[in-house]
Every structure is written in structure tokens, then in C-alpha cells.
């Protein structure tokens, strides 16, 4: 019987992320980096050169290894990454997206490391057999963003004992902004205090459903003439002909802000947050809104149904239905007292998703893998 190697108290962890923008995945990785650093672990990051994550990590003194072209599949890039893993004697290689998991496997095969893969999306895979191989044979453990993501992995045959659900957390602001700040933000959008302002923040892709939010706005033009819609983010959906036409029809009732770096400053101007996703692994933007005291109207999909409590912190509606979304928005606008109560409930619920909990659970998962047979 071979003696098991002792688990080090201070781990050496390499994180791999291929995102070129700052979105929910990069925010969660940053909170994890911050928390693990406070716990005394050594870390470095492999990510695309020039990405927001690379810049932020460098400013905080974290070692950064640029991924060539944001991919790292070229032989020189993989060899450089492999050399870094070997020279730093990494204990854990944590891939934070699907592409990063492929890079992690190719660069570390045969090295004495434990590979962890984060799975953040809940849509069914196009090739289940490849999915099963990827999350069974190329890593030692998987962190699922929600129970919905775990169910997708189980559905393609990934063994349950390999998967741990660790939900993302958000910082809860100690105080909510005052009415003067709210009025100033709304004035910048051209919205009066008597307007009812609904908003959304996220990448403009089909699964996020910003087109459904525009459809709901158009459907409510008679019932809610004071309704305004403010959308933050960027992506291919915002440039599609159909979306541009809907935006034209909405006129000054809809406003696109592009990428917003200061999310709290965006949320302060809203009366209601919309999350009309067609697919959602977790729903971090909704959790941010709740932390800032906003009720949420969300599609009953993926992790959103695990965050939003229907009739308590907001409304859950049928996915891909602009009519259902419009009815929920109308219900929210019709009862300001209930809306405020839902907002207070939402803030309390968000309190249970502290980043410290996410960090502690991730650290425990690392240690469990290292201590395993």
C-alpha cells in the first residue's frame, strides 16, 4: 500500500480563462483570486494578453501568463504553459470556461496536477459523448454553477461524485444610494421620476433575451405609457437587423448604454431588473440587482429559478415569452408597495450568497481532490 502524499496547507493554483471581455465569469474568477489570496494560497493566471482580467491581475501583483491569441492552442503557447505548470509545481489547474478546460488538459497531461473545470452554462450540449468525455476524462473534478448545470452534466453521464455545485457570490453594498443619486442617473437617461424604468445588464446574445425585453416594451405601449427600458452591455444581438428595427419602433422609450463598467451606478436608476434569458447557468446579474434592493422579473430557466423566489423576491415567467414578461412588468408597476417589499426581500436573499462562502467551498473542493485516492 502506497502512502498518500500530504496535502499542502498553502496551495499552488493556476487559473486559466479565455475570455477577452469582463463578464460574469471573469468577475467570479476575480473574487475567487482575491479570496484565495487572503487565505494564503499562491496563484497565477493564464488569460488573453490585453484582456481586462490580465490588466487587473497585473495591477494587483498576480503573475500573468498571456495566452497567444486568447486561445493557446498553438504548440508554442501550450509548451510555454506546460513549462510554467511544471516549474511552479502547481497543485491545482482550474479552468474557468470550456475552452480553457481543453487548454488545461493539453498543457498538463502527465503532470502531477489536479485539474478542475468550472461549468457555467446550462444549455444541453450538441455532442453529449464529447461532453461526457471532457468532464469525466480530462479533469479530476467539476464545479457546476447551479443545480441546473449539475443536472445537464448528469444527463450526459458525468458521474455525480465528480461534480460539486458551488454557486457564485456577490458583495452586498452596505448602503443603498440616496434619492439624489438615483434622480441624477435617471436624468442622464432622459427618464423622469414619474417614469417606470426597467433594465437589464449583460452580453447581447440570443440566450440573454434582450429582444424579448424590447418586445415586452412595445406590447406595453398602451398599458404603461411611462415605461422606459434601459439596456447595458454589448454583443452581436444589438447589431442584428431585427433588433435594430425593434429599437427604432421603441423610440425614446428604450435606451442602449453599451458596456457599463460601474454596475452599481447603473442599478441605482432602475425600478425593476429584467432577466429574460432563454438559457442561464446561474444568473449573476440578477443576483447583483437583488443585492442592490431590486425586485427581478426572470425567466424560469436554469439557475434563475434557484435565485429568484416567485412572489417573494420577484416574478418567474415562462421563457421565450414576451407576453408573460410584459404581464409581470405590468404587475410590478401596478403595485409600488409590493415592489418595494420584494426589493427588500431580494436584498436579504442576496445576503446569503457572500463571496466568502464561494471561496471557502472552492478551497474545500480543491483540498478534497488532493486528499482523495
Strand segments, DSSP code E, in the chain are 12-16, 42-48, 64-67, 92-95, 114-119, 141-144, 163-165, 196-201, 227-232, 254-258, 272-275, 296-299, 314-317
What is the arithmetic mean of pLDDT over 287-297?
Answer: 98
> CB–CB of 354/31 below 8 Å?
no
Confidence at 1, pLDDT banded by 50, 70, 90: very low
What is the arithmetic mean of pLDDT over 354-361?
Answer: 97
pTM of the entire predicted model: 0.91
> CB–CB of 124/152 below 8 Å?
yes
Q: Return the sign of the alpha-carbon dihedral for residues 68, 71, 75, 81.
A: positive
Whole-number Å distance between alpha carbons of 116 and 80: 20
Confidence at 3, pLDDT banded by 50, 70, 90: very low
* φ, ψ at 178 (rounded to 5°): -80, 175
Task: Indicate the domain borders of the chain.
Answer: 12-169+354-371, 179-350
Whole-number Å distance between alpha carbons of 239 and 243: 7
Cβ neighbour number for residue 78 with a 10 Å cutoff: 18
pLDDT at residue 5, as a whole number: 57
Alpha helices in 162-300 (DSSP H): 179-189, 210-219, 241-250, 263-267, 284-291
Residues written for the chain = 373
What is the arithmetic mean of pLDDT over 91-119?
Answer: 96
Higher pLDDT, residue 183 or 70: 183
Structure confidence by residue, pLDDT tens digits, 49-59? 899 999 999 99
Q: Do the domains 179-350 and 12-169+354-371 match in fold? A: yes
Structure confidence by residue, pLDDT tens digits, 240-254? 999 999 999 999 999
> Which H or E element spans position 190?
none
pLDDT at residue 285, as a whole number: 96
**CATH class belonging to 179-350:** alpha beta
Alpha helices in 50-178 (DSSP H): 52-59, 75-87, 98-108, 128-137, 147-155
Q: Out of 3.30.379.10, 3.60.9.10, 3.40.50.880, 3.40.50.2000, select the CATH number for domain 12-169+354-371.
A: 3.40.50.2000
Helices and strands in the chain: count of H runs, count of E runs: 15, 13
Q: What is the dihedral of CA 152, 142, 121, 57, to 10 degrees?
A: 180
The separation between the first and the last C-alpha atoms of the chain, rounded to the nearest angstrom, is: 12
Q: Is the pLDDT of residue 2 over 80?
A: no
Whole-number Å distance between alpha carbons of 297 and 35: 31
Amino acid at each position: 500500500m502506497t502512502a498518500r502524499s500530504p496535502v499542502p496547507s498553502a496551495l499552488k493554483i493556476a487559473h486559466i480563462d479565455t475570455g477577452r471581455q469582463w463578464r460574469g465569469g471573469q468577475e467570479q474568477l476575480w473574487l475567487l483570486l482575491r479570496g484565495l489570496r487572503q487565505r494564503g494560497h499562491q496563484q497565477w493566471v493564464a488569460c488573453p494578453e490585453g484582456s481586462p482580467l490580465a490588466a487587473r491581475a497585473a495591477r494587483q501583483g498576480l503573475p500573468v501568463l498571456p495566452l497567444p491569441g486568447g486561445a493557446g492552442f498553438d504548440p508554442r503557447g501550450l509548451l510555454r504553459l506546460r513549462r510554467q505548470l511544471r516549474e511552479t509545481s502547481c497543485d491545482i489547474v482550474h479552468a474557468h470556461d470550456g475552452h480553457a478546460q481543453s487548454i488545461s488538459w493539453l498543457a498538463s497531461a502527465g503532470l502531477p496536477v489536479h485539474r478542475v473545470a468550472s461549468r457555467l452554462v446550462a444549455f444541453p450540449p450538441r455532442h453529449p459523448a464529447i461532453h461526457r468525455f471532457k468532464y469525466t476524462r480530462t479533469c479530476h473534478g467539476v464545479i457546476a454553477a447551479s443545480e441546473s448545470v449539475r443536472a445537464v452534466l448528469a444527463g450526459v453521464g458525468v458521474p455525480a461524485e465528480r461534480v460539486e455545485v458551488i454557486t457564485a457570490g456577490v458583495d452586498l453594498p452596505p448602503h443603498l444610494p440616496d434619492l439624489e443619486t438615483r434622480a441624477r442617473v435617471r436624468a442622464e437617461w432622459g427618464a423622469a421620476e414619474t417614469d417606470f424604468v426597467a433594465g437589464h445588464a449583460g452580453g447581447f446574445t440570443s440566450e440573454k433575451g434582450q429582444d424579448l425585453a424590447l418586445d415586452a416594451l412595445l406590447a406595453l405601449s398602451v398599458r404603461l405609457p411611462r415605461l422606459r427600458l434601459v439596456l447595458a452591455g454589448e454583443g452581436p444581438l444589438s447589431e442584428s437587423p431585427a433588433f435594430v428595427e425593434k429599437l427604432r419602433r421603441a423610440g425614446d422609450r428604450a435606451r442602449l448604454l453599451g458596456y457599463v463598467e460601474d454596475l452599481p451606478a447603473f442599478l441605482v436608476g432602475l425600478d425593476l431588473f429584467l432577466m429574460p434569458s432563454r438559457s442561464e447557468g446561474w444568473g449573476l446579474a440578477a443576483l447583483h440587482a437583488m443585492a442592490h434592493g431590486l425586485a427581478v422579473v426572470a425567466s424560469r430557466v436554469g439557475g434563475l429559478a434557484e435565485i429568484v423566489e416567485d412572489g417573494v423576491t420577484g416574478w418567474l415567467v415562462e421563457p421565450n415569452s414576451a407576453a408573460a414578461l410584459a404581464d409581470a412588468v405590468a404587475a410590478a408597476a401596478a403595485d409600488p408597495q409590493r415592489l418595494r417589499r420584494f426589493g427588500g426581500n431580494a436584498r436579504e436573499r442576496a445576503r446569503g450568497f457572500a463571496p466568502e462562502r464561494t471561496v471557502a467551498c472552492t478551497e474545500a473542493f480543491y483540498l478534497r481532490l488532493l486528499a482523495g485516492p
